[in-house]
């Protein structure tokens, strides 16, 4: 489970935060002041830290400064919680290395959005770094345990521990649901619910991702067949993410073709999402593979556009249908100048290339209003719906 350390000297605020995080299945640690918080950070190495700015003894600035000086804690995502809203305070925190900044009082949705944004950004960066690291990099004890159970699931064919969820994607102009992104969930018999960011990163770095993704592709197509035959949801496109290992495997295109034929599915109802970092690993090979998939009639989306900074020149060479702007850039886009400028530029650039633009992680009406104003095509996020099991997605329609 994802471990979050809460450093907050006000007991009521601290307890409310812990209750909220535990209700979302996060593993939590609590500290009543900065000194205790630092001790816990160094002993537990949490996945993310929420820290009040104004505290006795060691304030939030002191906590952050100390953490950033130690290699073990230097890269832990750090979010300030504060009642102060002055620009100078914000600037000081960001200059010290804070990742985000929430002004009290904030809503549950704002807090969860900030947490998910930072965890996903961290996971994307780790994934990008993993591709350039030696294969024998040592895992932490926690990750070693996860690997043991994940290998057992694959080797003993216990795929019933996995579930597919679907997050709706809506056309902004019409309000019509046009697609749904499939997302994998793991309910381990031994470990309980395992966060996707943890086990998917582990699966890819150990090679277990290939059999897992084959199971995912097969089940997506079978589910689409059921919807097509029984519910007549013919206009719904299903998006699914592909790892680099699977994308560059020699038989990937043939497997997709076989699944389409065996289930008698219209290929345009499938959209494969590929991250920029995967494409940039081997741009010429990626172009050839994408062209083959497009020849089948399958759609292609570049996921998390902006993370790896794919150039416009390279983008022109890619025969893709869709750009997806990642959650990191959409969060708070309505009042963050840098994110606003980048998002506007991406939308204009994509439209000039006749590409659809989908914004991920849209959690507020203000973010949606911004996207509507600048003619973004579609969106997904908690504002519309959380990821849903197949049966709940049917009811959602």
**In 3D, which of 206, 42, 23, 201 has the Cα closest to residue 119?**
201
**Distance in angstroms (rounded) separating the CA atoms of residues 62 and 82:** 14
The C-alpha atoms of residue 82 and residue 105 are separated, in whole angstroms, by 9
Q: What is the mean pLDDT of residues 102-123?
A: 83
pTM: 0.66
Q: What angle do CA 15, 71, 2 make, to 5 degrees?
A: 35
Residue partners of 29: CB distance under 8 A and separation at least 6: 3, 4, 5, 6, 40, 44, 46
Mean pLDDT to the nearest integer, 35-39: 91
What distances in angstroms separate CA 312 from CA 232, 306, 315, one per listed residue?
39, 11, 5
The half-sphere exposure of 314 on its side-chain side, counting CA atoms within 13 A, is: 17
Asked if residue 16 has pLDDT above 60, the reply is yes
The torsion angles phi and psi of 64, rounded to 5 degrees, stand at: -65, -45
The predicted-structure confidence for 260-291, as pLDDT tens digits, reads as follows: 999 999 999 999 999 877 887 788 899 999 99
Predicted local confidence at residue 273, as pLDDT: 95
Each residue of 159-177: pLDDT tens digit?
Answer: 999 999 999 999 999 999 9
Structure confidence by residue, pLDDT tens digits, 285-333: 999 999 999 999 999 999 877 654 455 556 778 899 999 998 878 988 9
Burial class of residue 228, CB neighbours in 10 A (0-12, 13-18, 19+): middle
pLDDT at 326: 84
d(CA 72, CA 38): 12
For residue 95, CA distances in Å to 67, 92, 132, 342 come to 14, 5, 28, 21
Q: How far apart are CA 56 and CA 93, in angstroms?
A: 17
pLDDT of residue 236: 84
- What number is the average pLDDT over the span 41-52? 91
* pLDDT one-digit tens code per residue, 358-384: 999 898 999 999 999 999 999 999 899
Asked if the 3-130 domain carries CATH number 3.40.50.2300, the reply is yes
pLDDT of 397 above 90: no
Does the pLDDT at position 217 exceed 80?
yes
The domain limits of the chain are: 3-130, 141-396
DSSP-derived secondary structure letter, 138: P
Q: Which of 73-77, 211-215, 367-371 has the lowest mean pLDDT?
A: 73-77
Structure confidence at residue 37 as a pLDDT band (50, 70, 90): very high
Residue 234 has pLDDT above 60, yes or no: no
pLDDT of res. 232: 64
Question: What pLDDT does residue 86 have?
Answer: 61
Please state whether beta strands 388-389 and 162-171 pair in parallel, antiparallel, or not at all (unpaired).
antiparallel
Mean pLDDT over residues 230-253, rounded? 85
Which distant-in-sequence residues (6+ apart) come within 8 Å of 58 by Cβ? 33, 34, 35, 37, 38, 66
Write down the mean pLDDT value for the chain: 85
Residue percentage of the chain with pLDDT more than 70: 89
Q: Give mean pLDDT, residues 85-96.
A: 69
Buried b (16+ CB within 10 A) or exposed e, 348-358: ebbeeeebbbb
Nearest to 379 by CA among 167, 234, 118: 167
Check residue 125 and give its pLDDT. Answer: 59
State whether CATH 3.20.20.450 applies to domain 141-396: yes
Q: Output the pLDDT for position 144.
A: 77
Q: Which helix (H) or strand (E) holds 369?
A: helix 365-373
Preceding peptide of 353 cis, ω within 30°? no
Q: What's the pLDDT at 130? A: 47
Strand, helix or coil for residue 311: coil
Question: Could you give the CA distance from residue 321 to residue 293 in angstroms, rounded to a whole number?
Answer: 12
Give every CB contact of residue 181 below 8 A, 6+ residues apart in sequence. 166, 167, 169, 238, 239, 240, 241, 273, 380, 387
Between CA 57 and CA 38 the distance in angstroms is 12
Q: Report whether pLDDT(141) > 80.
A: no
């Amino acid at each position: 489970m994802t471990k979050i350390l809460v450093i907050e000297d006000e007991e009521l605020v601290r307890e409310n935060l812990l209750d909220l995080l535990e209700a979302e299945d996060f593993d939590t640690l609590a500290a009543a002041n900065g000194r205790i918080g630092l001790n816990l950070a160094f002993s537990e190495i949490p996945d993310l830290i929420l820290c009040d700015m104004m505290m006795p003894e060691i304030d939030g600035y002191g906590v952050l400064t100390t953490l950033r000086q130690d290699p073990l804690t230097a890269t832990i995502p750090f979010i300030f919680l504060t009642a102060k809203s002055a620009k100078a305070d914000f600037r000081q925190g960001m200059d010290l290395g804070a990742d985000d900044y929430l002004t009290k009082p904030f809503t549950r949705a704002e807090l969860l959005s900030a947490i998910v944004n930072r965890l996903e950004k961290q996971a994307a960066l780790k994934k990008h770094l993993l591709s350039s690291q030696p294969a024998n990099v040592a895992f932490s004890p926690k990750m070693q345990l996860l690997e043991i159970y994940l290998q057992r699931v694959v080797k003993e064919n216990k795929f019933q521990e996995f579930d597919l969820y679907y997050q709706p994607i809506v056309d902004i102009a019409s309000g019509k649901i046009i697609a749904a992104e499939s997302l994998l969930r793991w309910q381990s018999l031994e470990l309980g619910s395992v966060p996707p960011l943890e086990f998917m990163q582990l699966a890819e770095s150990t090679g277990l991702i290939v059999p897992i993704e084959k199971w995912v592709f097969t089940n997506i197509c079978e589910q689409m067949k059921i919807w097509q035959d029984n519910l007549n949801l013919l206009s719904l496109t299903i998006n699914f993410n592909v790892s680099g290992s699977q994308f560059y495997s020699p038989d990937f295109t043939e497997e997709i073709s076989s699944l389409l034929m065996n289930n008698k599915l219209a290929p345009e109802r499938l959209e494969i999402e590929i991250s920029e970092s995967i494409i940039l690993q081997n741009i010429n090979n990626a172009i050839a593979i994408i062209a083959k998939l497009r020849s089948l009639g399958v759609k292609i989306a570049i996921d998390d556009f902006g993370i790896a900074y794919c150039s416009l020149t390279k983008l022109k060479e890619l025969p893709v249908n869709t750009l997806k702007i990642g959650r990191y850039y959409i969060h708070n886009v309505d009042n963050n100048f840098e994110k606003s400028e980048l998002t506007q530029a991406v939308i204009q650039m994509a439209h000039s290339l006749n590409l659809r633009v989908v914004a991920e992680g849209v959690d507020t009406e203000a973010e949606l209003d911004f996207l509507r104003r600048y003619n973004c095509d579609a969106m997904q996020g908690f504002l519309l719906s959380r990821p849903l099991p197949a049966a709940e997605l049917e009811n959602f329609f």
